[in-house]
């Protein structure tokens, strides 16, 4: 292949990649989401809720953390739409927001264990 042909093919490839690139704002939001996953305490909390919903007290006891620490982390997880909550009387129960969160955690664990 001549250099000119290579450069033309290369330019076409770069144009295709650039055309498919998400907007900067979307990539920024994605980076922010992954930052939330970058804290081991939050990962522990998410894994605690992998199978069932839990209240703050249960999470705190399970992970040997203070209730205020758990509440702080849950606020961050809720803001990032990773957990949802429901009230039952005076109790508030937290669970993973949707199946995507389970999938992200499962895929991350699979990658780490390879």
The three-state secondary structure class of 91 is strand
| Paired tokens of 1 | 């292949």
Fold exhibited by the domain 40-114: Arc Repressor Mutant, subunit A (1.10.10)
User: What mean pLDDT value characterizes the chain?
Assistant: 92
In angstroms, rounded to a whole number, what is the distance separating the alpha carbons of residues 107 and 111? 6
DSSP alpha helix (H) spans, 1-114: 3-20, 24-36, 40-48, 56-63, 67-79, 99-113
Residues 4-39 pLDDT 10s: 666 667 788 888 888 899 999 999 999 999 999 999
Domain ranges of the chain: 1-36, 40-114
The three-state secondary structure class of 97 is coil
Residues 49-103 pLDDT 10s: 998 999 999 999 999 999 999 999 999 999 999 999 999 999 999 999 999 999 9
Cβ atoms 84, 94 nearer than 8 A: yes
Q: Which pTM does this prediction carry?
A: 0.84
């Amino acid at each position: 292949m001549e250099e000119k042909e290579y450069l033309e093919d290369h330019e076409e490839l770069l144009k295709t990649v650039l055309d498919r690139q998400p907007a900067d704002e979307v990539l920024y939001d994605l980076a922010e989401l992954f930052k939330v996953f970058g804290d081991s305490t939050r990962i522990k909390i998410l894994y605690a809720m992998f199978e069932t919903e839990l209240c703050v007290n249960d999470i705190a006891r399970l992970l040997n953390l203070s209730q205020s620490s758990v509440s702080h982390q849950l606020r961050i997880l809720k803001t990032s739409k990773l957990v949802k909550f429901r009230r039952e009387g005076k109790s508030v129960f937290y669970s993973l927001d949707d199946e995507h969160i389970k999938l992200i955690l499962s895929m991350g664990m699979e990658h780490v264990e390879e």
